[in-house]
Structure 1
């Protein structure tokens, strides 16, 4: 993992309008309205509240009310993060994936797919295949669509495709804007080792536990 060149800064305090504060307070971090978000991505997006507000609302559906299981969602996000080499998304979703029941061995196999593809149940394997097909071919094959349809209903199929596209878009933005991993965490690399040697651990999405923001940095 290398340092990210900053292109868009965290919004300077003198530019903290009420619409900007709504952006970085959206996820319910304690004191975010007054002190700003502790996540760099929110502080960067707050540069453009008219864009960031609907982005947050859409992201909240995909992250928290998605019809896919949390396991399936983390499978696809981690595969996207590896494919586009998004260190930021990889770092965050390794912890979310562990909290969803994935093991470090599973996460390594997501990265290394299709090597050892036989380790996966059909549903999991098809989710990973769907990410690669959409990124390589811009459409799901008939075989993958039919296979997934044995496991997922119509709404889940829609959420699957939209989730993959959303996390590709988000990763592009993070990389292109130059959003770095926060300085108060121990970043998890693509080798599944952390810079400080503490190693990956479970982390919590907004709202999963009352003190999710603090626990993710403890």
Structure 2
């Protein structure tokens, strides 16, 4: 994945620029990452985004490990260096091995392969085939299938924003990736 060095036309907002109408969000998730500091240029969108983010990131029926695998595959498919780097760090924090993380950029086997095929189907066909949907439902349940679809959509939208505005990878993530490349 190519990390663009171009200057952003919509850079992450600095603390002193933070919009007053979302002042309460700066101390939480929104102020902690460049993706949300970029989205802060549109306070109403960031406010509307927060409840869906809570579900996708914290409350998904996929659970944390499967969620990270879905996000890694989506980041790989989009070519989003920001999402890939951030979610390598999150995956490692969950105990996912570097080998397993790398496989999400290739052709993983087992349930990881099923997840990769599902993400690929959404990118390639805008839907899950009956075969993939039934395999996912049998393995994870219908709510997890719905959350997988929502997660791919959620992170695709973030990826579009990140890549459009050349949002820089957060410094702590870039430092960690430099110390421990995948």
TM-score by length of 1: 0.75
Report the counterpart of residue 136 of structure 1 in structure 2.
124
Across the aligned residues of Structure 1 and Structure 2, the Cα RMSD in angstroms comes to 2.1
Report the counterpart of residue 61 of structure 2 in structure 1.
67
Decide whether the 8 Å contact of 2:4 with 2:166 is kept in 1.
no
Kindly name which structure, 1 or 2, has the bigger radius of gyration based on alpha carbons.
Answer: 1
| Change in CA separation of 1:72 and 1:98 when aligned onto 2, cut-off 3 Å | same
| Change in CA separation of 1:102 and 1:183 when aligned onto 2, cut-off 3 Å | closer
- Equivalence map 1:16-165=2 (5 Å): 16-27=18-29, 37-113=31-107, 117=108, 120-121=109-110, 123-165=111-153
| Change in CA separation of 1:67 and 1:167 when aligned onto 2, cut-off 3 Å | same
**1:8 aligns to what SS in structure 2?**
coil
- Uncovered stretches (5+) of structure 1, i.e. residues with no partner: 29-36, 189-193, 202-218
Counting matched residue pairs gives 180
Separation in 2, partners of 1:3, 1:9: 13
Which of the pair is proportionally richer in helix?
A: 2
**1:60 aligns to what SS in structure 2?**
helix
Separation in 2, partners of 1:107, 1:98: 8
CA offset digits 1:21-40 (Å, max 9, x no partner): 23333328xxxxxxxx3422
| Change in CA separation of 1:94 and 1:184 when aligned onto 2, cut-off 3 Å | closer
TM-score by length of 2: 0.88
**2:140 aligns to what SS in structure 1?**
coil
| Change in CA separation of 1:4 and 1:86 when aligned onto 2, cut-off 3 Å | farther
CA offset digits 1:161-181 (Å, max 9, x no partner): 111111111111111122111
Report the counterpart of residue 163 of structure 2 in structure 1.
175
Separation in 2, partners of 1:11, 1:145: 40
Decide whether the 8 Å contact of 1:41 with 1:174 is kept in 2.
yes
- Uncovered stretches (5+) of structure 2, i.e. residues with no partner: none
**2:105 aligns to what SS in structure 1?**
helix
